[in-house]
């Protein structure tokens, strides 16, 4: 793969991710004709009655800064708040998705003895995307569409007006590849070619040196923004991910998971404009100091870099990997790896 193509694929999604992270309201048109990027909250849809999720909690985005938190709704009119939520990119978990109404004002309970006004929160449903579990080795490389685009009849050509539309998150097999002007094109069907920059590709990778023949390991491809899970030399699962943005790149290397946490808050960048606070992040798997694979309930941008360094997963993928990986967990919230219960290998690489 030529350097020009690699940089094109890397830089554009990173710029997109930064724009999305800074957006507060509304959508924004992409430089690519006909592509519309998601609005604020990175493609998530507002929660509606009857929405279901595998997530154990309902989550809400804090839409204004310095939201006051009260010990009870009845004390809001007469008492001082017990604290404020501060300023930044903030998400909270709710005790119940059903608001409490006090004197005509709706409230949500976010913790024991902590309530905020409902109009200061926005409830969203998490991404419904999920990868694929493999019962047999893939016969060819495959990919997910990261943009919705029409297929071209020949590599390098513009698609016809009536060409088939392949929607974002559609999984396609790759039967052939051909370079055109420093860009690789993939044939994904009869007379159907897709620009490599529009997909996240998964190919079977050789087992890294040091990983045993029967050991579990995870392959994180920073360039493709994909993840594959292996048992020895056999791929058993694959999906799209979101790794670190330019200033917070996910570090490359081969390391073992050293701890797994069912649920915990995550925060960072205190004192900076990009401060973030995320309550009750589920299914975290730490593998390289503070780097972790974990569920991301706050965006639907899988296939693009979008994090402060961790490997973001759609909730269904995070749950599957949490249960599949080692160290094997019990009922406790935190499980550390040990000599008798070692962690799964994680290999992060650019190409």
The reported pTM is 0.87
Per-residue pLDDT at 114: 97
Distance CA(316)–CA(296), nearest Å, equals: 10
Asked whether 344 and 256 are in contact (CB, 8 A), the reply is: yes
pLDDT along the chain (351 residues), means of 10: 42 38 29 31 55 82 96 91 94 94 95 96 94 96 98 97 97 98 96 97 97 98 98 98 94 98 92 89 97 97 95 98 98 97 98 83
- Which regions of the chain carry the CATH code 2.40.440.10? 216-349
Distance CA(219)–CA(238), nearest Å, equals: 9
Asked whether 225 and 282 are in contact (CB, 8 A), the reply is: no
Distance CA(121)–CA(142), nearest Å, equals: 39
Task: Return the sign of the alpha-carbon dihedral for residues 87, 90, 93, 99.
Answer: positive
Distance CA(312)–CA(114), nearest Å, equals: 29
For 216-349, give the CATH class: mainly beta
Judged by DSSP in three states, 313 sits in strand
- Which regions of the chain carry the CATH code 2.30.30? 141-201
The phi, psi pair for 278, rounded to 5°, reads: -125, 110
Per-residue pLDDT at 41: 53
**141-201 is classed CATH 2.60.40:** no
Token output for 231 = 């048992």
Nearest-5° angle of CA 27, CA 29, CA 30?
125
Q: Residues in the chain, how many?
A: 351
């Amino acid at each position: 793969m030529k350097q020009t193509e690699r940089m094109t694929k890397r830089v554009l999604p990173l710029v997109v991710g930064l724009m999305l992270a800074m957006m507060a309201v509304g959508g924004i048109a992409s430089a690519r004709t006909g592509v519309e990027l998601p609005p604020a909250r990175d493609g998530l849809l507002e929660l509606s009655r009857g929405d279901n999720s595998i997530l154990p909690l309902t989550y809400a985005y804090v839409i204004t800064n310095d939201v006051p938190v009260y010990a009870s709704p009845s004390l809001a009119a007469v008492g001082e708040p017990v604290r404020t939520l501060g300023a930044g990119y903030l998400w909270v978990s709710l005790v119940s998705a059903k608001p409490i109404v006090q004197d005509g004002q709706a409230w949500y309970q976010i913790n024991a003895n902590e309530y905020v006004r409902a109009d200061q929160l926005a409830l969203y449903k998490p991404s419904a995307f999920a990868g694929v579990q493999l019962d047999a080795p893939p016969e060819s490389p495959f990919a997910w569409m990261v943009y919705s685009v029409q297929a071209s009849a020949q590599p390098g050509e513009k698609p016809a007006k009536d060409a088939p539309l392949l929607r974002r998150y559609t999984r396609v097999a790759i039967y052939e590849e051909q370079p055109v002007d420093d860009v690789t094109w993939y044939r994904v069907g009869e007379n159907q070619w897709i620009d490599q920059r529009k997909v996240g590709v998964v190919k079977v990778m050789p087992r890294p040196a040091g990983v045993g023949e029967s050991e579990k390991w995870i392959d994180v491809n920073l360039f493709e923004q994909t993840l594959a899970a292996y048992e020895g030399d056999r791929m058993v699962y694959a999906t799209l991910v979101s790794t670190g943005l330019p200033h917070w790149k996910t570090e490359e290397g081969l390391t073992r998971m050293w701890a797994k946490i069912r649920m915990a808050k995550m925060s960072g960048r205190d004192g900076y404009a990009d401060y973030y606070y995320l309550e009750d992040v589920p299914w975290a798997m730490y593998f390289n100091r503070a780097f972790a694979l974990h569920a991301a309930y706050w965006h639907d941008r899988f296939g693009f870099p979008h994090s402060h360094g961790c490997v973001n997963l759609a909730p269904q993928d995070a749950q599957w990997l949490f249960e599949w990986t080692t160290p094997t967990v019990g009922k406790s919230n935190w499980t550390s790896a040990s000599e008798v219960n070692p962690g799964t290998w994680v290999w992060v690489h650019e190409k």
